[in-house]
């Protein structure tokens, strides 16, 4: 399995028992969706390795207490401590309305209610306090904050996002 075909679910945070059980920190708003997984991909030496789950249960809201097949001791658990956990993109819950996954909107057209076609969304920059749409119009890169009030509609059928940005925001990029 390639990392590009997966999404990050969380990280093996700590050991839970001397029998090899671990606590996986789930980086999600809905941890209950992942309580009954059969398997996950664990990143070991930059490769995703399938691990089969014998049992799991939610622990203190954000953790999944997990017992993996073939991890039967503290020493076994030590080998996967801190490893990142991934699942195939096909296991992401479907979002509706104006909610979307970052990977889902790459290639969508960005349209502004005032300005019309702004360009094509080439990525999302989430390295700052506020995630930004990275929009390409010819050779110009336009950055628009991902603020709910700016997003009028996510149209999956036509692969387009309708925005209502404040006057001057996009013009800053286009009038250079």
pLDDT band at 127; cut points 50, 70, 90: confident
Nearest residue to 84 (alpha-carbon basis) of 12, 4, 159, 142: 12
pLDDT at residue 86 in the model: 96
pLDDT tens for each residue of 73-115: 999 999 999 999 999 999 988 888 898 988 889 999 999 999 9
Q: Give, in order, the Cα–Cα distances in Å from 142 to each of 5, 89, 122, 132, 135.
A: 27, 28, 10, 9, 5
How confident is residue 43, by pLDDT bands cut at 50, 70 and 90? very high
Stated pTM of the model: 0.72
Greatest Cα pair distance in the chain:
64
- How does pLDDT run across 59-68, given as a tens digit for each residue? 998 999 999 9
Beta strands in 75-115 (DSSP E): 84-88, 109-112
**pLDDT confidence of residue 176:** 63
| Percent share of the chain, pLDDT over 70 | 99
User: Which domains are assigned to the chain?
Assistant: 3-91 (2.40.30.60), 102-174 (2.30.30.240)
Mean pLDDT for all residues in the chain:
94
> Which H or E element spans position 79?
helix 74-80
Per-residue pLDDT reduced to its tens digit, 162-175: 999 999 999 999 88
| E strand spans, 89-131 | 109-112, 116-125
């Amino acid at each position: 399995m390639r990392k590009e075909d997966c999404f990050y679910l969380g990280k093996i945070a700590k050991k839970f028992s001397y029998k090899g059980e671990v606590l996986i920190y789930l980086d999600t708003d809905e941890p209950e969706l992942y309580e009954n997984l059969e398997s996950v991909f664990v990143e070991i030496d930059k490769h995703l390795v399938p691990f089969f789950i014998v049992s799991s249960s939610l622990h203190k809201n954000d953790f999944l207490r997990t017992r993996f097949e073939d991890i039967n001791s503290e020493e076994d658990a030590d080998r996967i401590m801190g490893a990142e956990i991934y699942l195939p993109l096909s296991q992401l819950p479907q979002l509706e309305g104006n909610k979307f996954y970052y990977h889902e909107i790459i290639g969508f057209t960005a349209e502004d209610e005032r300005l019309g076609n702004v360009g094509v969304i080439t990525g999302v920059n989430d390295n700052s306090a506020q995630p930004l749409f990275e929009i390409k119009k010819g050779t110009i890169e336009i950055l628009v904050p991902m603020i709910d009030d700016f997003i009028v509609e996510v149209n999956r059928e036509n692969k387009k996002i309708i925005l209502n940005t404040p006057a001057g925001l996009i013009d800053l990029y286009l009038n250079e």
